[in-house]
Structure 1
Amino acid sequence: MKLTIERAVLLTALSHVQSVVERRNTIPILSNVLLEADGEHLALTATDLDIAVVEKLPAKVAKPGATTVAAHTLYDIVRKLPDGAEVELTFTPAEQRLDLRAGRSSFKLSCLPKEDFPVMAAGELPHNFTLAADQLRRLIDKTRFAISTEETRYYLNGIYLHAASSAGVPMLRAVATDGHRLARVEAPLPAGAAGMPGVIVPRKTVSELRKLLEGGSSEVKVELSDTKIRFTCGELILVSKLIDGAFPEYERVIPRDNDKVMEVDSKAFAAAVDRVATISTEKSRAVKLALKPDGIELSATSPDHGSASEQLTAVYSAAPIEVGYNSRYLLDIASQIEGENARFLLADALAPTIVRDPSDDGALYVLMPMRV
């Protein structure tokens, strides 16, 4: 194998694929990236056996071939090469060595045989549809903060993607919850998605996919079965296993009769919560909201640090109520509000609170209160 490729093109692709590779691997081949040169392209593949990322790049291929080399090492080398450099890669099969040259720099890298590299077969993917990249970005960005990190409840360790109906209109819905807060965001259902099964896309896959969506492709092709999902963004392909489990019936935790409505400036509210929460204990992070017709009072107390309070103007006309929240969860939801105001719908101090963004009807958040 012998080829020449632009440093910037190679670096961008390596940044995509190397992040899939775990830093510590008990299986040496999984630390490597597969390089395959053929025609006018170099294909890079990386996998951790749950996710595989493949990217094709334009290259001047003098001699086709394939090998595998340490992903993080190759990425670090290319990252440190000067801008505008031309990178020459030559693989010598007899010595299982990859020579990398760029200007006056020269590296000799140990390789492992391409035959040892695991192939992650996607199998049959009967359901497929195309989604605008910005729609997929929105579904991910507005829900991923609520993904659970608790491994025992593995079925909550991802985003639940499924076809649903909202007021009789077919929707593609993304839901994430960790039991303390829930995010539900929907977009118009794309053609071909009506019969798709509900699938749970794992947290790491969500994170890698979000990085790939920065690549500039305007559309993403999504193909899936009950066990695997494949995203294609231009020359980039991500294949992932899905979480094998049943996502809880989340609709049951969304309250229907929260009749106390409070609207507040979202940025001023988030800043006030952040300030007051400085005093709360690290463990509980509790902040209390006292809602009255003339506004809100936010307060926090700590046996070690003292107390803090702040007054905020808000639109609220129901009976006064006091309710406590975990400030971090409150800030996570407040940061998703893109409009000027955030709308809170409450029932009482112990019932789940709904938070809406009046500028985005497709987004809904539920937050469990806490005793303070």
Structure 2
Amino acid sequence: MKLETTARILKSALKSVGLAVRKKSSIPILGTVLFDGNTVTACDLDMEISVTLPASTAVGSACIAYKSLLNLVSHLPGDEAVRIEAGEKGATVIFSTGRYDLPVVSVSDFPSIGMPDGMVPIEVDGDGLKRALRFVAPFMSTEETRYYLNGVCIDRDVAVATDGHRMGVHPLGFDGGASDKWIIPKDVVSALLSMPSPKGVSVSTEKVRAEFRMDGARIRTKLIDGTYPDWRRVVPSMSANAAHATLDRVSLLRIAARMAALGPSNGLSLAWSAARLAVAAKVWGSDGTARETMPVLSPSTSGATTFNGRYLNAVLQVLRSEVVTFWCEDDKSPSVWRGDGEGYVLLMSMREAAAEIASTLLSHLNAGKRLDEAA
């Protein structure tokens, strides 16, 4: 095998396939990358990433230790010419001032993710797919017992992710295939977000394999074999008659951050009327309380509810728009949060916390009392 390119090009290709390299494994081949002509491939038995790199010479194939090769080229100037020559006994990396001998593994042992017959092509908007994945990715679960939540579900024309406490939903801008849901694993989502937008996608009819094709790159993967929940059943009405409020997103985010800085419990209670919102929390380990107020930006139906402060903070950071609106049926129902974009987040409510404190504060403010007068 012989490959001639530059350190910058080689480093970029290695980093692109790196998410499919097993960092710790008792199987040596999973810690290598396969060079086949000018294509470099990594495979961890669940995901396979291939990248085509520009090269002045690219013939033959070899499996070379990934970490050693990446560390070496990372310490070379970007425009440094690099030549790799490999045989059965090892690989030699040569540049202007040095020569390094690295171990190799038999090419015949390198695994691959096979694509079954019956792959169904999908006309995809790659930018729309990445936009949707980026929006919902923070809400993927890491819980092993409900493994089918450890990824993003493509359900017709939307992408969905939930950890059971929060759920992100974002339109794709295209039809995601058959009405049956298919689930992209967490690591594949991370790889897709770090690479160019897909130009084409194919999914097997049994929803067990998928292939994402980009300019000069390809991802093949196993899909999560499980049944995704019927998430639409838990989304409450977002009608004008439902309890709702429109707020300045950054102001509410700062209130939540200040309360967390004082060490309150993780429950933030909100109570609101047509013109004002009250936020309250109990200070952890004491009888103290944290209370703040802020204006409501548009006439709203009054209500009250309580959220996990950490989850609310995450929702407000994902939405990003200047103002947000949330809807909820009652204090025990989940709420829907939406900004100026097309996606929305569902957030489960909590019980107790400082709900009575927030409601009392709001009543005093509506009665004309100042904040410092509200007991």
State the TM-score, normalized to the length of structure 2: 0.87
| Aligned mate of 1:364, from 334, 344, 366 | 344
Following TM superposition, by how much is the alpha carbon of 1:271 offset from its aligned partner in structure 2, in angstroms? 2.2
In the alignment, the residues of structure 1 paired with residue 92 and residue 314 of structure 2 have an alpha-carbon distance, to the nearest angstrom, of 47
Mapped pair 1:65 → 2:44:
no
Once the two structures are TM-superposed, the CA of residue 146 in structure 1 deviates from its matched residue by: 1.1
Query: In structure 2, which of residues 325, 345, 355 is the aligned counterpart of residue 343 of structure 1?
Result: 325
Tell me what 2:2 maps to: 2
Deviation at 1:89, TM superposition (A): 0.6
Q: Is the 8 A contact 1:277 1:286 kept in 2?
A: no
Distance 1:107 1:260, change over 3 A: same
Give the distance between the partners of 1:245 and 1:138, measured in 2 at CA: 25
Partner of 2:114: 121
CA distance in 1, matches of 2:231, 2:68: 44
Question: Following the alignment from structure 2 to structure 1, what is the Cα–Cα distance between the partners of residues 60 and 284?
Answer: 67
- TM-score, normalisation: structure 1: 0.88
- Alpha-carbon distance change, 303 to 272 in structure 1, aligned in 2, over 3 angstroms: closer
Structure 2 counterpart of 1:56, from 30, 52, 58: 52
Residue identity opposite 1:15 in structure 2:
K
Question: Is the CA contact 1:222–1:230 (under 8 Å) kept in the aligned structure 2?
Answer: yes
Corresponding residue number in structure 2 for 1:44: 40
Match in the other structure for 2:19: 19
Identity of aligned residues (%): 28
CA distance in 2, matches of 1:255, 1:4: 58
Amino acid at match of 2:311: Y
Cα distance in 1, alignment partners of residues 309 and 117 from structure 2 = 45
Distance 2:260 2:51 in 1: 44
Equivalence for 2:255? 272
> What aligned pairs does 1:304-343 form with structure 2 within 5 A after superposition?
304=285, 306-315=288-297, 317=299, 320-343=302-325
The letter for the 2-side match of 1:181 is R
- Give the 3 Å change call, closer, same or farther, for CA 11–196 of structure 1 in structure 2: farther
The amino acid across from 2:344 in the alignment is L
1:108 counterpart = 2:101: yes
Distance 2:14 2:150 in 1: 27
Residue pair 1:291, 1:316 contacting (<8 A) in 2 also: no
Q: Which residue of 2 aligns with 1:137?
A: 130
Query: Residues of 1 paired with 2:300 and 2:5: CA distance?
Result: 66
Contact 2:154–2:183 (CA under 8 A) maintained in structure 1 = yes
1:159-179 CA-partner distances (Å, limit 9, x unpaired)? 11021xxxxxxxx21111111
| Correspondence for 2:227 among 226, 233, 246 | 246
Root mean square deviation, CA, Å: 1.9
Aligned: 1:82 with 2:77: yes
Distance 1:145 1:46 in 2: 25
Q: Judging changes above 3 Å, is the alpha-carbon distance between structure 1 residues 280 and 370 closer, same or farther for their aligned structure 2 residues?
A: farther
The change in CA–CA distance for 1:346 and 1:280 in structure 2 (over 3 A counts) is: farther
Structure with greater strand share of residues: 1
Match of 2:160 in 1: 175
Q: Which runs of 4+ in 1 moved over 6 A?
A: none
What's the offset of the Cα at 1:137? 1.4
Query: How far apart are the structure 2 equivalents of 1:196 and 1:188?
Result: 15
Separation of aligned partners in 1, 2:125 and 2:154: 15
Aligned equivalent of 1:169 = none
2:202 maps to which residue? 223
Distance 1:211 1:189 in 2: 21
Deviations 1:310-343 (A, max 9, x none): 2211136456533211122112211222432100
3-state SS in 1 of match to 2:330? coil
- State the secondary structure of the residue aligned to 1:59: coil
Is residue 245–residue 301 contact of structure 2 (8 Å, CA) maintained in 1? no
Deviations 1:64-109 (A, max 9, x none): 211111112211111111221111111133xx21111122122110
| Unpaired stretches in structure 2, ≥5 consecutive residues | 354-375
Q: Deviation per CA, 1:31-84: give whole Å up to 9, x if none.
A: 1111112xxxx111101100000111121226x211111112211111111221
The one-letter code sitting in structure 1 at the alignment partner of 2:188 is T
Number of equivalences: 347
State the SS of the aligned residue for 1:49: coil
- Higher CA-based Rg: 2
Are the aligned partners of 1:355 and 1:367 in contact in 2 as well (CA < 8 Å)?
yes
